[in-house]
A and B are shown apart, each in its own frame.
Chain A
Amino acid sequence: MKTITPYLLRFALAATVLTIVFRYFLSYVIENQSGIIITFSAATYGLLMFASGWHFGRKDGEYLPIFDVGFRFHLSTYLIHNGLSLLWIGLGFGSKYENLNVSIMVAIYWGIFLLLHFIFFLWARKNSVDNLDKEDLFE
């Protein structure tokens, strides 16, 4: 069953690039203690991630309307953001003021929301056949 679609891969690529750029700026501005730029870069990152998710999600639905209530995109975002953040700090690229424990806590708290989303996804699957919405299968 095909669930890794071309548009999901494009989103994953965009999210990877955005996260690396964000991590670089975040560590740089934390090192230089620039509070306004920290807020600005976090807001810009959030907006760009949302915009790319919106864009590729819409394209993905047109390509193959997988009925997953956004779970695949959420899971990709979670893995990319938290994976790269943990690697970034774990490999010593972060600022001296950054703490690996904070990134671990973010991953844990976010993971709880991801788990709730997964439960919602399992519930929604009852209305699907091979992950496609039963009501939107035939044209």
Chain B
Amino acid sequence: MKNDKKLNELLHSWENTYKKGQLTLWIFMALQESKKYVDDIKDFIEKQSNGTISCEEQSLYRALRKYEHIDVLTHDLKDGNKGPDRKYYYLTNLGQELFNQFVNRNIKLFYSTEIKNILKLNEQ
């Protein structure tokens, strides 16, 4: 019982550290799929991460503003259902290249046979 509690605390602590820095990857993955506006990006992230990554709207807006500022994202304006036009974000060529290189260097290594075997062992 005591070990369960400790395990849970350690897992949460590790996950909190692990999730830091993940928002960018999830935003880029959301936009890799299609152009999206803020609510769509938020829904994508929460759904595809099984709720493990929650993003507040303010953080999302701030991140999108930064990425637009450094020219990795841009947006088109389209009619909203009601109210003002919506910003539909998408990756620029620079953003797409950045995403591709990041995935090649940091994500694909998890798919080597050796690492896949290790991860399978850990699952058992």
Instruction: Select one of B23, B59, B70 contacting A132, CB under 8 A.
Output: B70
Whether B65 and A63, one on each chain, are in contact in the complex, defined by CB atoms closer than 8 angstroms, is yes
Q: In the complex, what's the smallest C-beta–C-beta distance from B48 to chain A, in angstroms? A: 17
Chain A residues within an 8 Å CB radius of B59: 139
B21 adjacent to chain A (CB < 8 Å): yes
Which applies to chain A's interface (DSSP): helix, strand, loop or mixed? loop
Contact with B along A56-77 (1 / 0, CB 8 A): 0000001111000000000000
Whether B62 and A63, one on each chain, are in contact in the complex, defined by CB atoms closer than 8 angstroms, is yes
Max chain B Cβ within 10 angstroms of own Cβ: one of A1, A63, A137: A137
Nearest residue (CB) in A for B25 is: A138
Whether B70 and A130, one on each chain, are in contact in the complex, defined by CB atoms closer than 8 angstroms, is yes
A2 adjacent to chain B (CB < 8 Å): yes
Q: In the complex, what's the smallest C-beta–C-beta distance from B31 to chain A, in angstroms? A: 14
Max chain A Cβ within 10 angstroms of own Cβ: one of B62, B66, B71: B66
The size of the chain A interface, using a CB distance under 8 A, is: 13
- Chain A residues 25-79 with CB under 8 Å of chain B are 62-65
The size of the chain B interface, using a CB distance under 8 A, is: 11
Chain B residues within an 8 Å CB radius of A106: none
Whether B21 and A137, one on each chain, are in contact in the complex, defined by CB atoms closer than 8 angstroms, is no
**A65 CA / B65 CA spacing, docked (Å):** 10
A129 adjacent to chain B (CB < 8 Å): yes
Q: In the complex, what's the smallest C-beta–C-beta distance from A22 to chain B, in angstroms? A: 34
Closest 4 CB pairs of A and B: A138-B24, A139-B23, A130-B70, A139-B63
What are 10 A-B contacts defined by CB distance under 8 Å? Answer: A2-B69, A63-B62, A64-B65, A64-B69, A129-B70, A130-B71, A131-B69, A132-B69, A138-B24, A139-B59
Known contacts A64-B65, A130-B69, A132-B66, then 11 further A-B pairs from the complex at CB < 8 Å, ordered by chain A residue: A1-B69, A2-B69, A64-B62, A64-B66, A65-B66, A129-B70, A130-B71, A138-B24, A139-B23, A139-B62, A139-B63
